[in-house]
Amino acid sequence: MSELETLREAAVEELADLWRDLDNARRFAVNGEWSMQCDWLEERIKRLTPLVGPTPWEEIQISLLERGIYQRIHADLGIDVAVDMERVAKVRESIARRGSVRP
C-alpha cells in the first residue's frame, strides 16, 4: 500500500470517528441537541468529507440520520447523500423491540 493510500485510509477512518464523536457530543450537550463541540466536530467533518467522500450512511449513528444532521451537513457541502429512511425506521423499530432506545 502506498503512502497516499495509507493516508487516505486514515482520513476515511478519522471521518467515521468524527461522526461518532459528533453523535456523542450531541448527546452530552447541555440542551441535549447541540454545543460548541458539535460545531467544532462539524467543521472537521466538513474539512475531510470533500477530500475522501462521504462516510456511507449505513455507518452513521441512527440519531444523526433521523434528525437529518448527516443530510444537512452534506447539503451544506453541496454533496447529495441518499439515506434510505425506511430502512432507518426499521432499524429504530428493531432497537425499540429490544428495549434499548436512545434518541
What amino acid is encoded at 78 in this protein? G
User: Is the pLDDT at 103 greater than 80, yes or no?
Assistant: no
Split into its structural domains, the chain has a count of 1
> How sure is the predictor about 96, in pLDDT bands with cuts at 50, 70 and 90?
confident
Where in the sequence is the domain holding 55, given as residue range(s)? 3-98
The verdict on residue 8 lying in a domain is yes
| Closest C-alpha to 76, from 55, 52, 45 | 45
The verdict on residue 36 lying in a domain is yes
User: Is the pLDDT at 11 greater than 60, yes or no?
Assistant: yes
Predicted TM-score of the model (pTM): 0.89
The verdict on residue 10 lying in a domain is yes
The verdict on residue 103 lying in a domain is no
The verdict on residue 68 lying in a domain is yes
8 A C-beta contact, residue 19 and residue 45: yes
> How sure is the predictor about 97, in pLDDT bands with cuts at 50, 70 and 90?
confident
The verdict on residue 87 lying in a domain is yes
> How sure is the predictor about 19, in pLDDT bands with cuts at 50, 70 and 90?
very high
The values of phi and psi at residue 68, to 5°, are 75, 15
User: Is the pLDDT at 32 greater than 60, yes or no?
Assistant: yes
User: Is the pLDDT at 100 greater than 60, yes or no?
Assistant: no
| Average pLDDT taken over every residue of the chain | 93
* 19-47: average pLDDT: 95
